[in-house]
Structure 1
Amino acid sequence: MTTPEPEPAPQDAGLRTRLVDAGVDLVSREGAGALTLREIARRAGVSHGAPRRHFPTHLELLSAIAHRGFTDLAARVNALRGDGSTDDPRGQLTRLGDAYLRFALENAGMYELMFRHDLLESGHLRLRDTSLPLFGVLVELVGRVRPDADARAVAAALWANLHGIAQLWRWGSLQLVTGADDFAPLLRTALDAHLGPEDGR
């Protein structure tokens, strides 16, 4: 039988939150590459060794920052699903795809951090417990649109497509090759490619 760890003192919990807050602000302003322990500590107003009290490794602090991103994305998805809309599954997928792309483009540094393989593989803060349910929403909706197909495989291919659109749009590559100034037509095309054309189109 293991003894539960004592609750952190209020000032310790406050410092942990302050460090994560500083990291979230830093990644939003300067990107994932700026997330050094020293710079996060400086912005939190503590010594460069202070983060080690709560985050023994740099990876654990980065995971805590990425967890905020997944929580934000999950809140957006849940808000869309719980807003009383009567959209059919295809309509919900369109709105979720739009929300995903907007999140990626509005939070480029955080988005890059969230999908770092080493963070997801590390197991810190059980990031997969936050990210996999989001994928589960996609699988469920795809399954309702394509009951004939392997919903998990189709959802994975659609997600990969959306991820690629987000990255290439952020770099300006898609605007260059398509002349588009809005990603909505690309989103519709991706949905058509993986789900089949909408009825009547």
Structure 2
Amino acid sequence: MTTRPRSSRSSKAKVAAKKAGPRKKGRAGYHHGNLREVLIEATLALVEEGGPEAVTVREAARRAGVSPGAPFRHFPTRTSLMTAVAEEATHRLHDAVFAAVASSEADDPLAALRAMGRAYLRWAYANPTHFAVVSDRRLIDYDSSQSIVRENREMQALMVRLVIEARKRGLAADIDPAVARLASRALVYGLARMRVDGHLPQWGVQDARSTEAAEAVIDLFIDGLMRAGRPAASAPPRRRPRSGP
């Protein structure tokens, strides 16, 4: 009885498999080395679908297509996972703000401050899920993240520098830069929060006009600083009442 030679198909398949490399694992396309990024994206999807309360480390692992224990080397707690999401969000916001200031009108600190506020709002409107995470201190451990603390301080310092420069040139009121910094952030944060939480329609502003309306509010704020910095027009001399003959 003759033995038929074994087909070379199986050996060819093995060679092809080696050339193709390892298969991707999980629905999120996880492969060795990018688990952290995949988990962050999975967490953002969970927040977008069900709010922050929908996030657990195990659910993020399931969404990423990895074993339940796989994420814990990177994120031992839910807070650490949410903090990582906030770090990514803060970095993107930081870059958007500084890019807007760099491209604003040269040598005009109030124009730069206006551009900074507009960039904050546009970023928040375009990235409501990122904004929801980064703006809620109950979800993250702010002080434990060096990058979040550093980039927030850099944005705050930029606001202060612009206000001080505007004061030096007589373009803005002689106000405490720390107060102006707080007022500026409160303004844009409040507008962003109103949009993300769905409050603007109750104030007569539909979503289609939310950016336009918010930028008009920023313009009003900046114009107020400018008017306060202008020297008051000299009032006409008051006439004294004529005395009797």
**Which gives a bigger RCO, structure 1 or 2 (Cα 8 Å, sep 6+)?**
1
Counterpart amino acid of residue 218 in structure 2: L
Structure 1 position 165 matched with structure 2 position 186: no
- TM superposition score normalised by structure 2: 0.66
Counterpart amino acid of residue 157 in structure 1: A
* TM-aligned CA deviation for residue 151 of structure 1: 0.8
Correspondence for 2:25: none
Q: 2:130 aligns with which of 89, 110, 116?
A: 110
Contact 2:39–2:64 under 8 Å retained in 1: yes
Contact 1:30–1:109 under 8 Å retained in 2: no
The two structures, once aligned, show a CA RMSD in angstroms of 2.6
Which piece of structure 1 moves more, 180-189 or 66-75? 180-189
Contact 2:164–2:177 under 8 Å retained in 1: yes
* TM-aligned CA deviation for residue 172 of structure 1: 4.0
In 2: Cα distance, 1:32 partner to 1:97 partner: 26
Correspondence for 2:219: 188
Correspondence for 1:77: 97
Correspondence for 1:139: 160
* TM-aligned CA deviation for residue 35 of structure 1: 2.6
Q: Output one character per residue of 1:72-108: Cα deviation in whole Å (capped at 9) or x when no partner.
A: 0111122223337426111111111111011112211
Which piece of structure 1 moves more, 27-36 or 114-123? 27-36
Correspondence for 1:197: 227
Which piece of structure 1 moves more, 50-59 or 140-149? 140-149
Q: Output one character per residue of 1:156-179: Cα deviation in whole Å (capped at 9) or x when no partner.
A: 121112111111233443443245
In 2: Cα distance, 1:184 partner to 1:84 partner: 15
Q: Kindly, what percent of the aligned residue pairs are identical?
A: 30
Change (3 A) 1:59 1:84: same
Change (3 A) 1:197 1:21: same
Higher helix fraction: Structure 1 or Structure 2? Answer: 1
- Give structure 1 stretches of 5+ with no counterpart: 1-10
Change (3 A) 1:112 1:84: closer
Structure 1 position 128 matched with structure 2 position 154: no
In 2: Cα distance, 1:175 partner to 1:146 partner: 36
- The structure with the largest alpha-carbon Rg is 2
* Secondary structure of residue in 1 paired with 2:227: coil
In 1: Cα distance, 2:133 partner to 2:78 partner: 13
Contact 2:163–2:177 under 8 Å retained in 1: yes
* TM-aligned CA deviation for residue 29 of structure 1: 5.4
- Give structure 2 stretches of 5+ with no counterpart: 1-30, 169-173, 231-245
In 2: Cα distance, 1:30 partner to 1:191 partner: 37
* Secondary structure of residue in 2 paired with 1:116: coil
The count of residues paired between Structure 1 and Structure 2 equals 188
Q: 2:56 aligns with which of 36, 40, 44?
A: 36
In 2: Cα distance, 1:170 partner to 1:197 partner: 31
Contact 1:158–1:191 under 8 Å retained in 2: no
Contact 1:139–1:151 under 8 Å retained in 2: yes
In 2: Cα distance, 1:84 partner to 1:163 partner: 21
Which piece of structure 1 moves more, 162-171 or 113-122? 113-122
In 2: Cα distance, 1:144 partner to 1:178 partner: 36
Change (3 A) 1:64 1:171: closer
